[in-house]
């Protein structure tokens, strides 16, 4: 389930006003609880903070209204909400050989071939930050740390993104990274695709400046976190002394989509891109459903005469395919399985994967690492 849609009209604001907005997604009109951030005054950066604004997203780009999954009043069926409200708050032997060419790939991005049907880098990054729940926030040690001043300091933190893809953080005032940000807002957020480790993993580094959100926007930020991080039981885990910060400035984005895909992504392209609908509504629940239905079958299909796959798990999905983590003995690899059509819902994904996994010959046609 997704948080409140948020549209940003400025990346340099500390005071905001609220209004009702609507958004459209995947050809469907969605009207839900929405918060529009509207700048009323400029944040004065610290003397040491001189963010590079050359590559920042434009204000026009920031004014898009993106469906983030509906209101908290209709969490079970967010896409069906029609009323706009103002927000307040994988061992058997003898399996057929599928002649699969093993390529390192993760996160729905190209590595060394154009045979894959994959999202653009900007969309891949948007999908990545939607799927990942944690990242490394790297700040600059402030002068109060004396001999450590000026050194980079990394922290593992949870985060969420607003409607335009700007990261939002829930930070304790006692945390070292919080103190560092108050002295110098410049930082980087490093995000890796969950479920996979190693150099073939998709990852992105977002450069920017982080400031506290004003009091009147704290409830909206909390709602974003609740939708992304709350448990199925609705556990409220966010401490009362935490407050919300936002990366108001995104100055640059460095994307590594596995071996062979390394590039800088224009901030404007990132802000204008929309994450695939399949990734923005309870992503972990989607993967759980697909793995329960297809993990054993994928393990069989990804086995060869030479070696049986010990395990197979779907670790990520986008509208154009899935990434499957495969264990062969002590080795791990990721296989890309493409879809014949764009997929936007869990039911649609189940239907398409049922056809794809119906037999080795059919499966081989959809495995994009096999030419």
The domain 283-366 having CATH identifier 3.20.180.10: the answer here is: yes
pLDDT number for residue 173 = 92
Asked if 110 contacts 326 with a C-beta cutoff of 8 angstroms, the reply is no
pLDDT number for residue 262 = 87
pLDDT number for residue 253 = 98
pTM: 0.67
Asked if 37 contacts 64 with a C-beta cutoff of 8 angstroms, the reply is no
Asked if 55 contacts 252 with a C-beta cutoff of 8 angstroms, the reply is yes
Closest by Cα among 170, 134, 173 to 154? 134
- Domain ranges, ordered by start, for the chain: 283-366
pLDDT number for residue 282 = 76
Closest by Cα among 41, 13, 62, 4 to 272? 62
Asked if 186 contacts 140 with a C-beta cutoff of 8 angstroms, the reply is yes
* C-alpha span between 322 and 127 (Å, rounded): 12
The β-bridge relationship of strands 6-8 and 186-192 is unpaired
Neighbours of 278 (CB within 10 A): 23
Q: In tens digits, what is the pLDDT along the chain, a chain of 371 residues? A: 444 444 333 333 333 333 333 333 333 332 333 333 433 333 444 444 444 444 444 343 443 333 343 333 322 223 333 333 223 332 333 434 333 333 444 454 444 334 456 788 999 999 999 989 899 999 999 888 888 999 999 999 999 999 899 999 999 999 999 999 999 999 999 999 877 666 667 899 999 999 999 999 999 998 888 888 765 555 555 656 889 999 999 999 999 986 567 899 999 999 999 999 998 877 888 999 999 999 999 999 988 767 889 999 999 899 999 989 888 888 888 888 999 899 999 999 999 999 999 988 888 888 755 33
Give the burial string for 98-129 (b: 16+ CB within 10 Å, else e): bebeebbbbbbbbbeeeebbbbebbbbbbbbb
Neighbours of 242 (CB within 10 A): 17
pLDDT number for residue 345 = 93
* C-alpha span between 196 and 206 (Å, rounded): 20
Helix and strand element counts for the chain (H, E): 8, 15
For every residue of 43-59, DSSP letters joined together read: ----TT-----TTPPPH
Query: Tokens at residue 308, please?
Result: 């049986």
């Amino acid at each position: 389930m997704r948080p409140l849609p948020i549209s940003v009209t400025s990346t340099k604001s500390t005071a905001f006003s609220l209004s009702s907005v609507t958004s459209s997604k995947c050809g469907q009109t969605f009207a839900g609880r929405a918060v529009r951030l509207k700048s009323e005054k400029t944040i004065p950066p610290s003397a040491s903070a001189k963010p590079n604004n050359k590559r920042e997203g434009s204000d026009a780009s920031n004014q898009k209204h993106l469906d983030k999954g509906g209101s908290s009043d209709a969490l079970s069926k967010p896409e069906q909400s029609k009323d706009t409200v103002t927000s307040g708050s994988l061992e058997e032997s003898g399996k057929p050989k599928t002649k699969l060419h093993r390529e390192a790939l993760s996160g729905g991005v190209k590595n060394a071939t154009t045979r894959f049907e994959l999202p653009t880098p900007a969309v891949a990054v948007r999908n990545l930050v939607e799927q990942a729940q944690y990242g490394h926030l790297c700040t600059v040690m402030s002068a109060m740390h004396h001999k450590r001043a000026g050194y980079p300091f990394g922290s593992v933190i949870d985060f969420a993104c607003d409607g335009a893809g700007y990261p939002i953080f829930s930070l304790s005032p006692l945390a070292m990274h919080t103190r560092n940000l108050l002295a110098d807002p410049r930082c980087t957020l490093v995000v890796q695709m969950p479920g996979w480790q190693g150099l073939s993993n998709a990852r992105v580094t977002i450069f920017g400046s982080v400031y506290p959100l004003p009091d009147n926007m704290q409830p909206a930020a909390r709602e974003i976190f609740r939708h992304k991080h709350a448990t199925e039981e609705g556990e409220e885990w966010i401490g009362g002394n935490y407050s919300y910060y936002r990366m108001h400035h995104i100055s640059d984005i460095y994307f590594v989509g596995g071996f062979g895909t390394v590039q800088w992504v224009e901030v404007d392209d990132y802000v204008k891109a929309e994450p695939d609908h399949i990734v923005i509504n309870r992503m972990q629940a989607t993967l759980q459903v697909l793995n329960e239905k297809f993990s054993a079958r994928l393990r069989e299909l990804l086995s060869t005469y030479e070696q049986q796959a010990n395990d197979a798990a779907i670790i990520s999905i986008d509208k154009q395919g899935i990434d499957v983590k495969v264990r062969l003995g002590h080795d791990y690899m990721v296989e890309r399985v493409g879809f014949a059509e764009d997929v936007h819902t869990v039911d649609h994904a189940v239907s398409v994967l049922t056809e794809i996994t119906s037999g080795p010959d059919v499966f081989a046609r959809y495995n994009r690492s096999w030419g």
